[in-house]
Every structure is written in C-alpha cells, then in structure tokens.
Structure 1
Amino acid sequence: MSELKKAKTDPTDVFWGTAEDTRFGMLGLKGKDQHLQPMTHFVDRDTNSLWFMTSRDTDLAKAAGEGWQTKMSGDGTEAWFILVSKGQDVQICCKGRLHYSDEMEKHKELWNPVAGAWFDGPEDPKLAVYRLELEEAAIWASTDSSFVFAWEIAKAHAKDEDPDVGTHTVINF
C-alpha cells in the first residue's frame, strides 16, 4: 500500500513508520526566538514519545530548561518537531511537551556509538536528554509517482476539478 493510501486509512501507522525510518528532524520550542535545530530522535511508541540527546551547552537545552525547571511545572516546554520521509512523500509536524530527563536508565538505553563521539558516556555531565511527549501530529502525504501525479493533473484539467495527489490529516495521541 502506498503511503498516500495508508495516510488516508491509517495515519497513525504512517506517523510511527515515518518516525522510525527517518533518523533526523527539526526540533524547536514555542515562543523562543531561535531557529529549529536538526536533531536525531529515538522512538518510544509505548509512551507516545520521541527522545533526544543534546549538550547542555546548546541554545535549545538552555531555552528548554532542565531538572527542577521542568519537573516543578510538570508541563514541560511546548515544542515542535518536523519530519520528512526519505522519499519526501510524507511530511509531519508534531507538537507536544518537551521534558528534561535525569533517568540514568533511559540515558543508558539510548546510548550509542554516535553519541560517544560527543560525550564520554551516558553519565557525562554535559549530556542532556529530553522526552517529547506527543500531543498531536499533522501529516501531509502525497503520491511518490510522477506518472500518477501527471495523470491526476491531466484529469483535473479535463474534468475541471482538483487533482487527487495528496492528503492531510491530524492525529491526536
């Protein structure tokens, strides 16, 4: 089944499939005067979350806060994460609450050799780990076939109607 058809029938599956197949996205904080930043994410379907590792020295970490700043409010910081599938036929904008995590077990679970290029281990004091607790995601899916796209455009002109080359839906977690 194409991603376009699946996005119409099972958008939640398209979201998780895209998140698992795509290693990078752009993360930003609502109300902060800074650009979204490229980040690698780790999928956690069980908690409807995405996890991130970064340095405490980044603008993102400084703006998001950590420790008592996020735990006392319980709300976290409202954040946006943008994903584009490898085939560029699925685009996702998800939002939720970004929470700082000091759970060492989670740091160890997420640890990998790539993180080891920047940090001295999961206990490195420079390492900041965040969980994006997902609230909703907007999904746009389009055909990845140039033939189908051309056919739909030609058909739309002939019938004076909009072409069926994509879909948009919003899911809640």
Structure 2
Amino acid sequence: MNAYKAVEKDPRAALIKEMKNLRAGMLGVEGSAQHMQPMTHFPDWDRNRIWFITSKDTDLVRSLAPDSHAHFCVMSTGQDFQACLRGTLTETCDKAKLDEIWSPVAAAWFHGGKEDPNLTMLRLELTDAAIWGSSDSTLKFGFEIAKANMKEDELPDIGTHMILTF
C-alpha cells in the first residue's frame, strides 16, 4: 500500500510503520536560534513518546528550557511520506529506557558506556503530528500534473494531509 492510501486509511498506523523503517529524523526546539539536528528516534507508541539519546554538550540540550516545545520531522526513503511531530521536549535520564534502547551504535558515541558523564536522554511527549502521504506512482503523478496544467481551475490530486492528535 502506498503512503497516500495508508495515511487515508489509518494515519497513526502509517506513521508508526514509516518511522519503524527510518533511522533518524530532524529535531528542533521551537523559538531557539538553533537549527534542527539529526537524531535517531526510539518511539514508545503506547505512551505517545519519542526518546532520543544525546550528549549534554549539544546546542539542542543547551537550548532547552522548562516546557520547551519541539518538532521532530521525518521523510520516508521513498519520498511519499512526510511527518512533523510536535510536543514537549524534556531532558531526563530514564535508566530502564536507556537499557531498553542501548545499542552498539549508541555505544560508539559514548565511550564511557551508559555511565558516560555526557550522556543524557530527551523525551518528546507528543501532542500532535501533521502527516502527508503521496502517490508513489510516476504515471499518476504525471497524469495529475498534465491534467492540472490543462484545466485552470484544477489542482493535482497526488497526496493527502492529516492531523493526528495524541
């Protein structure tokens, strides 16, 4: 099923499926002067949270204030699915969650292991997400563009957009 149909059918299921297939997205704090940063995500869909492992000395962590709002954006490798998730971002070290998501990849960044003094975690408590799904068919895309160019009052129908509230 392409992203267009998946988003139309069940936006939450489409989001979960697409994020499972992605290694990272871009995380940024609203109102900060910092650019969004690439981060590996560890979703906890039962609690509507996304966890991140990072270093305390990053611009992202330094830009956090109490009740900071943040966006986490992802795009599928097929470029037919995009999502921007929003919520409250908090720095918090949860040892049980860290044990659950720790991997050789994380260990490569923190030579002191899970006890590295620079290691910290971020938790994004999701409030909502904007999700887009488009057709993965080159033929449909071409047809819709041609049709819209021939009819002044017509726009191409190549995608869908949904808002999900958590």
TM-score normalized with structure 2 length: 0.92
SS, match of residue 125 in structure 2: strand
Matches within 5 A, 1:16-165: 16-64=16-64, 70=66, 76-119=67-110, 120-158=112-150, 160=152, 161-165=154-158
Give the distance between the partners of 1:167 and 1:56, measured in 2 at CA.
38
Question: RMSD of the alignment, in Å?
Answer: 1.5
Contact 1:111–1:121 under 8 Å retained in 2: no
Deviation at 1:80, TM superposition (A): 0.6
The one-character-per-residue Cα deviations of 1:36-69 (angstroms, maximum 9, x if unpaired) are: 011111111111111101110111111125xxxx
Give the distance between the partners of 1:5 and 1:170, measured in 2 at CA.
15
Deviation at 1:102, TM superposition (A): 2.2
The one-character-per-residue Cα deviations of 1:1-58 (angstroms, maximum 9, x if unpaired) are: 2210111121111111111111111100011111001111111111111110111011
SS, match of residue 63 in structure 2: helix
SS, match of residue 92 in structure 1: strand
Aligned to 1:73: none
Contact 1:149–1:165 under 8 Å retained in 2: yes
Q: Structure 2: which amino acid aligns with 1:85?
A: S
Contact 1:81–1:94 under 8 Å retained in 2: yes
Deviation at 1:154, TM superposition (A): 2.8
Deviation at 1:121, TM superposition (A): 1.4
Unaligned runs of 5+ in 2: none
Q: Structure 2: which amino acid aligns with 1:142?
A: S
Give the distance between the partners of 1:158 and 1:118, measured in 2 at CA.
54
Contact 2:34–2:63 under 8 Å retained in 1: no
Q: Structure 2: which amino acid aligns with 1:33?
A: A
Q: Structure 2: which amino acid aligns with 1:80?
A: H
SS, match of residue 43 in structure 2: strand
Give the distance between the partners of 1:158 and 1:59, measured in 2 at CA.
49
Give the distance between the partners of 2:93 and 2:151, measured in 1 at CA.
59
Give the distance between the partners of 2:47 and 2:126, measured in 1 at CA.
9
Provide the identity percentage. Answer: 48
Aligned residues: 164
TM-score normalized with structure 1 length: 0.88
Give the distance between the partners of 2:36 and 2:150, measured in 1 at CA.
42
SS, match of residue 32 in structure 1: coil
SS, match of residue 138 in structure 1: strand
